[in-house]
Amino acid sequence: MEIHFPRLSCFDIRVVASQQPTFFDTHAHLDDRPFVADFPLVLQRARSAGIVKITNIGTDFDSSRRVIELAETHAGLYAVAGWHPSHAHEAPADLRPTLRELARHPKVVALGETGLDYHWLPTRTDPSAAPDADAQHKARQAELFVQHLEVAVECGLNVVIHQRDAFEDTLALLAPWAGRLRAVFHCFGEGPERLRRVLELGFLVSFTGIVTFKNGQQVRDSAAVVPAGRFMLETDSPYLAPVPYRGKRCEPAYVREISETVAAVRGMTLGELSRITCETAEAFFPKLKGGESLAEE
């Protein structure tokens, strides 16, 4: 059942924010169709839950322009521009000119999400696919990934990394760029050993609702040991809604449930978690620091 929160005035929002820890949702897709019907209510519920800044992620150039438009229209919303690896076969040959153009926007805080996704390779979805189709698809994803990294270094931006069933190849492609840019492995779903390897390269991780799932113990183990300053929180809305909303549409307000689980496994208060995760997000996405919040909408 959809949960509807009461409409809050600007004064009410300030009172709520002053009484509870505040958080950022560092990875959402609010330009997706599931949010069209009730977008104002989604933002309202985020405010009432203490979510003060939301970073929306582009998945292709049309999506990137939509999240930029949302950032232009709404205080507290920011944008990441890029091309998702799952859509590699639809991408133009050279992403770099358009990435450079999008990166110049003042509310574009990073490039991505980019990376590698081997979950839906051609031979898994099409029995008639050519034997070399998987290799070609992987090569195309890698090519687009490197284009994002090149433009990120050129423009002085960090990158948001997507990897699914491709951890070793993703890390191998990223390793030569360590020290030249920073990256966050969004929706981190790995255990402490893989976490260690990500951190050794100077990169960050971000936790979603998976940390609340019954089968998410290895993610909770990572959340328990990752050093302060090396992780952020996100919803990946509309996907991966945390318990008790699992199976429903996810939205930024649910950072609250994610934060409660992460605070519990780390043995800290929500106030402490708020401070370290918001400071980390502002360091990774410098344009967030001092920027407008949802409370100013």
Q: What is the pLDDT of residues 192-205, one digit of tens each?
A: 999 999 999 999 99
Q: Dihedral through CA 15, CA 8, CA 6, CA 43, nearest 10?
A: -100
Contacts of 5 by beta carbon, 8 Å cutoff, 6+ apart: 41, 44, 45, 48, 253
Mean pLDDT for 113-120 is 96
CA angle 230, 233, 238 (to 5 degrees): 145
CA distance 252 to 275: 18
Full set of structural domains in the chain with CATH: 10-296 (3.20.20.140)
For residue range 68-81, what is the model confidence (pLDDT) as tens digits?
999 999 999 999 99
Mean pLDDT estimate for the chain? 93
Confidence of residue 131 (pLDDT cuts 50, 70, 90): confident
55-72: b (≥16 Cβ within 10 Å) or e = bbbbbbbebbbbbbebbe
List 234's β-bridge partners, or say none.
none
Question: Which residue spans within the chain are E strands per DSSP?
Answer: 23-28, 51-57, 77-81, 108-117, 158-164, 183-185, 204-207, 231-233
pLDDT at 295: 78
pLDDT at 136: 95
pLDDT at 141: 98
CA distances from 221 to 225, 227, 266 (A): 7, 12, 9
pLDDT above 50: residue 290: yes
44-58, 126-140, 155-169: least confident range: 126-140
Confidence of residue 7 (pLDDT cuts 50, 70, 90): very low
pLDDT at 2: 33
CA distance 138 to 141: 5
Report the interhelical angle of 96-103 vs 61-73 (nearest 10°): 0
pLDDT at 273: 98
Mean pLDDT for 267-284 is 98
Q: Dihedral through CA 269, CA 284, CA 25, CA 88, nearest 10?
A: -140
pLDDT at 204: 98
Residue 43 token pair: 């933002």
Closest CA relative to residue 54, chosen from 239, 281, 241? 281
pLDDT above 90: residue 187: yes
pLDDT above 90: residue 53: yes
pLDDT at 17: 41
4-18, 82-96, 199-213: least confident range: 4-18
pLDDT at 125: 83
28 within 8 A of 56, measured Cβ to Cβ: yes
Confidence of residue 20 (pLDDT cuts 50, 70, 90): confident
Mean pLDDT for 32-46 is 96
* Residue 152 C-beta-side C-alpha neighbours within 13 Å: 29
141 within 8 A of 116, measured Cβ to Cβ: yes
Confidence of residue 161 (pLDDT cuts 50, 70, 90): very high
In this structure, how many other beta carbons lie within 10 angstroms of the beta carbon of residue 21?
18
